[in-house]
Amino acid sequence: MANDAHPVYEVLALRFGTHDDRPARDNFLVDEGQFTPGSDMPMDFYLWVIRNDRHFLLVDTGFPEEMAERRGRTLFRDPVDALTDLGMTADEVSDVVITHMHYDHAGNLDRFPHARIHLQEDELRFCTGPAMRHRVVRKPFEPININTAVQGLFEDQLVLHSGQSEIIPGVTVHPVPGHTPGTQVVQVPTARGWVVLASDATHLWANIRLRSPFPILDHLTPMLEGYDRIEALADGDDHIIPGHDPQVALRFPQLPGSPGWFCLHEPVLDGIDAARTAGAAR
């Protein structure tokens, strides 16, 4: 439990974009009847902020309009510009955790010139290695982000982690391979207990709760074992924050005066079946 040994933090999600008109079938590796045939199940895009009066930690950087247009995604607003809602600019951010190097999580990496970039070693190895010769594997990656990471390595901006590591007091990253070899999740002490930003270790609540993985993955068995790991790190099912679930924006209260930002450190709102996502059959 989060307790007096740790400071506690606010955890915010920014919903900055969406991919609607998306068949539910595209969100599960195996069709086990977990969605209504022919139904849609959109995916939203998020980044996250962990903050208190002493620290400000950004988790992932979203992606810019150019990538959104090229990939057929809808951007509600520029996610980096949205940091000004919280009184921050990209120049002022000192630390960024990149959960993995896919375009929708590391897409604005070059816009944080003064930040330490926290990445798992296995992720850098993967996205700079021979796996990228496979078109399907490299499709969610963008060379500009990988180049920025490598440039950061040469300029002491990139901080490589090999396993669990504390980024700011009480806030730790944990490797959960499967989606990519170097995917990491973030465990945060909050007033309501341990919250885990699971990013794409589980895209949707349905993926982890039904043990039904998302189809973009590098390695199936570690992904399934990662679900157990995430549950062990969190203080309950509602403390696990999936990477792309539209319900996140429905289940948590909005940050007053800041549309698009949601308070994950506060209890979930009632009235929504946790195991469902839009269009889910059960």
Contacts with Zn ion, residue ranges (CB under 5 A): 104, 200
Residue closer to Zn ion, measured from CB, 9 or 45: 45
DSSP string, 84-129: GGGT--GGG--EEE-S--SHHHHTTGGG-TTSEEEEEHHHHHHHTS
Q: 197-207 in b/e burial notation, b at 16+ Cβ within 10 A? A: bbbbbbbbbbb
Q: Which is nearer to Zn ion, 104 or 122 (CB)?
A: 104
CB of 13 to Zn ion, least distance (A): 13
Q: How far is the CB of 203 from Zn ion (least distance, A)?
A: 7
3-state secondary structure at position 243: coil
Nearer to Zn ion, 9 or 141 (CB): 141
- Least separation in angstroms between CB 125 and Zn ion: 20
Q: Which is nearer to Zn ion, 35 or 46 (CB)?
A: 46
CA atoms within 13 A on the CB side of 274: 14
Nearest distance from C-beta of residue 38 to Zn ion, angstroms = 24
We find the least distance from the C-beta atom of residue 216 to Zn ion, in angstroms, to be 8
**Closest distance between Zn ion and the C-beta of residue 181, in Å?**
15
Question: Based on CB atoms, which residue is closest to Zn ion, 123 or 200?
Answer: 200
CB 118 within 8 A of CB 167: yes
Locate tokens 């902020």: which residue? Answer: 49
3-state secondary structure of 36: coil
How far is residue 173's CA from residue 164's CA, in Å, rounded to a whole number?
5
Cα-to-chain-centroid distance, residue 25:
21
Least separation in angstroms between CB 43 and Zn ion: 8
Residue number with CB closer to Zn ion (73 or 192): 73
CA-closest candidate to residue 223, choices 25, 78, 30:
30
Task: Please provide residue 261's backbone torsions phi and psi, each rounded to the nearest 5 degrees.
Answer: -100, 135
Which runs of consecutive H residues, i.e. helices, occur in the chain? 65-71, 103-106, 121-127, 135-138, 143-154, 205-209, 220-233, 248-251
Tell me how far, at minimum, the Cβ of 46 lies from Zn ion, in Å.
Answer: 9
**In terms of CB distance, is 2 or 146 closer to Zn ion?**
146
Longest dimension (CA), the chain: 50
> Could you say which DSSP state residue 76 is in?
S
Identity of the residue, 8 or 131, whose beta carbon is nearer to Zn ion in the bound complex? 131
- Cβ-based burial of 248 (10 A; exposed 0-12, middle 13-18, buried ≥19): buried
